[in-house]
């Protein structure tokens, strides 16, 4: 880009990166996740099930060494590594993206991933191989936690932003041209 006097300046992008919003939202999500897990540990007993919506949704405390649906229970350290790499990738992406929508979406994903990583590092049996605290029972399908919910919502928002885009014209706007 050239100025009126002929000097060259670097092109600028509108707005700053979404990194600040991502980190703020991520921090809030980690706090909510860890608070709900602490409440679950304080008030629930493993094996106990408290129905909230009949058989559809309930509270049931477990300590999950694996991933979703308790897959990979013997590879806990792999999930720790994947979680760390995911957090790094989300942070780099947040630095490169612009806008609040990206900040919110990536913050939800980052906070959810970090919430489960906190468990992996602080819960028994050992740092890096700790079991994730899960307490939200979805029927007989699986038991998850608040971090999982935020990751799913955040990934849905990322998908929506990529596919639909924040500035795609609507059918009405196209027909008015």
Query: Catalytic site residues?
Result: 134, 148
Looking at beta carbons, which pairs linking 74-77 to residues 24 or more positions away fall under 8 Å? 76/120, 76/128, 76/129, 76/130, 76/131, 77/128, 77/129
Distance of CA 113 to the CA centre of its chain: 5
Measured in degrees and rounded to the nearest 5, phi and psi for residue 108 equal -65, -45
Upper half-sphere CA count for residue 110 (Cβ side, 13 Å): 26
CB atoms within 10 A of CB 33: 24
CB 49 within 8 A of CB 59: yes
Mapping DSSP to helix (H, G, I), strand (E, B) and coil, where does residue 75 land?
coil
C-alpha distances in Å from residue 114, one per residue of 16, 30, 92, 169: 24, 6, 15, 35
Q: What's the CA gap between 88 and 110, in Å, rounded? A: 9
């Amino acid at each position: 880009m050239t100025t009126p006097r002929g000097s060259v300046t670097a092109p600028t992008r509108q707005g700053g990166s979404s990194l600040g919003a991502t980190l703020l939202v991520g921090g809030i999500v980690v706090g909510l996740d860890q608070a709900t897990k602490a409440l679950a540990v304080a008030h629930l007993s493993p094996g106990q099930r408290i129905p909230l919506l009949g058989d559809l949704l309930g509270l049931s405390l477990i300590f999950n060494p694996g991933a979703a649906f308790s897959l990979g229970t013997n590879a806990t350290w792999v999930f720790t590594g994947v979680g760390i790499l995911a957090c790094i990738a989300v942070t780099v992406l947040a630095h490169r993206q612009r806008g609040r929508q990206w900040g919110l979406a990536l913050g939800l994903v980052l906070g959810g991933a970090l919430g489960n990583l906190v468990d992996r590092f602080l819960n028994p049996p050992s740092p890096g191989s700790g079991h994730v605290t899960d307490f939200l029972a979805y029927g007989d399908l699986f038991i998850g936690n608040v971090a999982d919910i935020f990751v799913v919502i955040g990934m849905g928002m990322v998908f929506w932003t990529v596919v639909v885009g924040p500035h795609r014209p609507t059918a009405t706007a196209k027909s008015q041209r």
